Amino acid sequence: MSNDRYHRQMLLPEIGAEGQARLAEARVLVIGCGALGCGVSDLLTRAGVGHLRLIDRDVVEPTNLQRQVLFDQEDADHARPKAIAAAARLKAINPTMNVEPVVDDFRHDIALQLTNDIDVLVDGLDNLEGRYLLNDVAVHRGLPYVYAGAVGTEGLVTALLPQHSGQDGRISWPASEAGPCLRCLFPEPPPSGTLPTCDTAGVLGPTVAAVTAHQASLTMRLICAGTSGIDRSLHSIDPWHGLARRVTADRPRDDCPCCSGRQFEWLEGKRQAHTEILCGRSTVQIRPARPGMVNLEKLATRWQAHGHVAQDQHALRLDCPDGTRLTVFADGRALVGADDLATARALYAQLIGS
């Protein structure tokens, strides 16, 4: 490892030569290579994290370029898989590191395999189902989970050090110092279609930058200095309106089914959306893991910018310019015009939420 590259960083007493060596030995998993994943991966790569494992199911498209800083027009023109394009860019930035791209969906049946030999879990996801699965993994393995999210002009970020019964990574903390897990903070995901998504509400690039800077700083601190004294507050950041708030949740909830009750519903596949390809049609049916009534009128308003919208009292239909059709029913069930499950799940998460 050449110290010239990291000289200015090593001048910081918080890092120094010892911290830089720890960064070089660290293994970080970034789940999702969208706006969040790109931003935090870029910062961790330039900081000298030795091994990054990137997982993403999607390909680059022109609308990504406004905020996903690892991609360029050529990536979009060729619809390159995001994990592959991101890995190539990161290796060009820092050839000394190892980048391991995984082009796949982050699913319960491969989650433990993908998180093997990892020190920190970093959230670059765009859907709640994936985040609750990641939380299950963090609690199950005893790994730190650096959570983040951004929609509109507001972003959230926090470091989660949950209760555990054993730890797999190099970063450890005693059970007496464990904090809340994601389900302590948000016990249940809201019904599908309730929350805005980046595709329906938009997202501000500077918000992503602010969130991922905080997220990368938390990750680096965990690697260099461990968990002692780390800020565990949930931070809300809104650069557009100049707002910043923090909520402190010091202790796990005694009634949390995950970290207290050791119930891993997403990791065991009990809470994932149910998908099936309809026979004889290029259509995937998706039934949400937590059925609930969808406000079709509000969803129709969000969809106006994405194509032709038709609605009656039973269902809402979107015909996209590329010919894709998405039909959602009042109970959250949807029919997605796609040939494979991963594409259908991605479109559902983008336009409805999960």
Q: What amino acid positions are annotated as catalytic residues?
A: 198
Q: Is the dihedral of CA 214, 194, 273, 141 positive or negative?
A: positive
What are the C-alpha distances in Å from 162 to residues 120, 146, 236, 270, 329? 13, 11, 20, 21, 37
HSE toward the beta carbon, residue 271, CA cutoff 13 A: 22
Cα gap 278→184, rounded to integer Å: 37
Q: What are the beta bridge partners of residue 150?
A: 155
Helix pair angle (35-47, 205-225), 10° resolution:
40
Do you know the residue count of the chain? Answer: 354
Q: Is 339 in contact with 275 (CB distance < 8 Å)?
A: no
Cα gap 214→204, rounded to integer Å: 16
Other beta carbons less than 10 A from residue 165's beta carbon: 10
